[in-house]
A and B are shown apart, each in its own frame.
Chain A
């Protein structure tokens, strides 16, 4: 069935709300046709990934929208930039590129986006509620919104995020529709040791395995105790959305659309069920740990942006200790959380230990931010997945405590006991 537009949609498409909104609507309609949507739906918010600079074309796109008089119609948050806008001196790369990146952030502010500069918009006070339709881009934010909040967004990429925001409309397709939200592949982890099931450290590794194994279908994890905290769900989702193309997962007893396995599956038999073994997980872990030696140049945490709950774990681990002078220890977070760190006195503790807290950006975007190309450690499977390509560094994926201990010792120090049989 062809796409049906409302009178208001047609008015936007015909230019009745100005050429900027018309250009945005043209792109929304083209995507809707590509996805074979039958109609558009109204969104209550947007999260824009397009403000991250990838070259002159991305700036040209934003400048075109701005020049044509476009502005956002719904509350719109902005994703990370290429720069730490509060601490510009941390960026030591090409000044011309920094200037282009800054111009791009100005464009998106000019279009009406809120200067939140975070890849974890779900950590902000205002976040979408269950069943609300939004247009979120940034793979980890998409999977969190769908899976953990029960809000509805498709896997949006750059450009459509801002166009949906300008028009207030998005294609009624993909994960906006109930039938596409049911789980198709089951990952049963009930056979894993209980100590591992009870560890933060399981979740990024499991996410990497689920993403690489699932492809594009919605997976469901069963066998983990119910009521898992958000930081674990965030870590799993970010990893799965990096190693795979998925925009949603369920975890029985922990995510809102999966009170039971049967409900997550929508009463339909799954395409496959995988009994996850320690061997599977160790393979996933090994694939993300490319470093072979013990030397360590940087520790990078906070991809996606560290939450207050995660800082509550990290700060005591570093309190009264000192990062080895040869190690660059960076934690990325949003400026909202950074402000809270200041208020609580946690920032002082971290800085006294030799940690740099980076805001507005992410440390895998530029070697300048990590302090070089030497071996790195991280507790984020997403960082581990992208850093070897983006930065040319070797990576060891490890638990938060192992990252801290290694930073203090100045060499990679890991504990394999959790991952050993028996």
Chain B
């Protein structure tokens, strides 16, 4: 991996950090129409990720997560940015296709584990 931060999908964003304790599979885990976490196994179930600087260790689960992120972007419920410790092609693709289809730039960023650890829920962050 080259220097951090590494942009899987370019863009600028700012907002309040929402840090997830575990990875989230957007498909099966997110209601794209409301932006709420619906994965009953997830520690942050019920919370809204809309407009947040969403911080999580990695992606998880289904290939359809790309489609759910694209749909959340279309519905206006997506996070402002997604920040992870491990690159995840499936998450990145939702943002890459949104740029192609809707000319929307939602940054998907990989940072070092040390940097990720400094992001606290509720803090302001800009990319």
Contacts and interface: CB of A to CB of B under 8 A. Distances in A.
Interface stretch (A25-33, A85-93, A349-357): A25-33
A307 to B, nearest CB: 20
Nearest to A241: B61
Interface in B6-22: 6-9
Given A23-B100, A245-B23, A245-B58, A388 B40 contact: yes
B23 to A, nearest CB: 6
Nearest to B99: A30
B95 to A, nearest CB: 9
A49 interface: yes
Nearest to A28: B96
A159 B28 contact: no
Contacts of A155: 63, 88-90
Given A155-B90, A389-B29, A27 B38 contact: no
A337 to B, nearest CB: 21
A137 interface: yes
Interface residues of A, number: 46
Contacts of B108: 34
Interface string A382-419: 00011011100000000000000000000000000000
Interface in A239-294: 241-245, 287, 290
Q: Which of A23, A54, A64 has the most CB of B within 10 A?
A: A54
A156 B92 CA distance: 10
| Interface size of B as a range | 35 or more
Interface stretch (A55-63, A183-191, A322-330): A55-63
B89 A34 contact: yes
Contact of A36 (B1, B65, B66, B100): B1
A299 interface: no
Given A27-B97, A55-B74, A160-B89, A137 B32 contact: no
A76 to B, nearest CB: 15
B111 interface: no
A139 B58 contact: no
A104 to B, nearest CB: 10
Interface in A79-132: none
Interface in B49-98: 57-68, 70-71, 73-75, 86-94, 96-98
Contact of A49 (B8, B9, B64): B64
A35 interface: yes
Contacts of A52: 64, 67
Given A31-B93, A158-B67, A244 B60 contact: yes
B74 A57 contact: yes
Q: Chain B at the A interface: mostly helix, strand, loop or mixed?
A: mixed
A160 to B, nearest CB: 5
A312 interface: no
Nearest to A54: B67
Interface in A35-63: 35-36, 49-50, 52, 54-58, 60-61
A390 B99 CA distance: 28
A55 B32 contact: yes
A242 B62 contact: yes
B89 A174 contact: yes
Contacts of A161: 63
A379 interface: no
Contact of B73 (A34, A57, A216): A57
A60 B8 CA distance: 23
Contacts of A56: 71, 74
B27 interface: yes
Interface in A325-379: none
Interface in A158-206: 158-161, 174
A359 B92 CA distance: 31
A189 B28 CA distance: 30
B15 to A, nearest CB: 22
A385 B58 contact: no
Interface of A: 23, 26-27, 30-31, 34-36, 49-50, 52, 54-58, 60-61, 64, 137-139, 142, 154-161, 174, 215-216, 241-245, 287, 290, 385-386, 388-390
Interface of B: 1-2, 6-9, 23, 25, 27-29, 32, 38-41, 57-68, 70-71, 73-75, 86-94, 96-102, 108
12 contacts: A35-B8, A35-B87, A54-B68, A55-B32, A57-B74, A139-B63, A155-B88, A157-B63, A157-B65, A157-B90, A158-B70, A160-B66
Given A35-B87, A54-B67, A158-B94, 18 more contacts: A34-B108, A35-B8, A52-B64, A55-B74, A56-B71, A56-B74, A64-B101, A137-B63, A156-B63, A157-B65, A158-B63, A158-B70, A158-B90, A159-B70, A159-B94, A161-B63, A388-B40, A389-B38
- Please name the 5 residue pairs, one residue from A and one from B, whose CB atoms are nearest each other, closest first: A157-B90, A157-B66, A55-B71, A34-B8, A54-B67
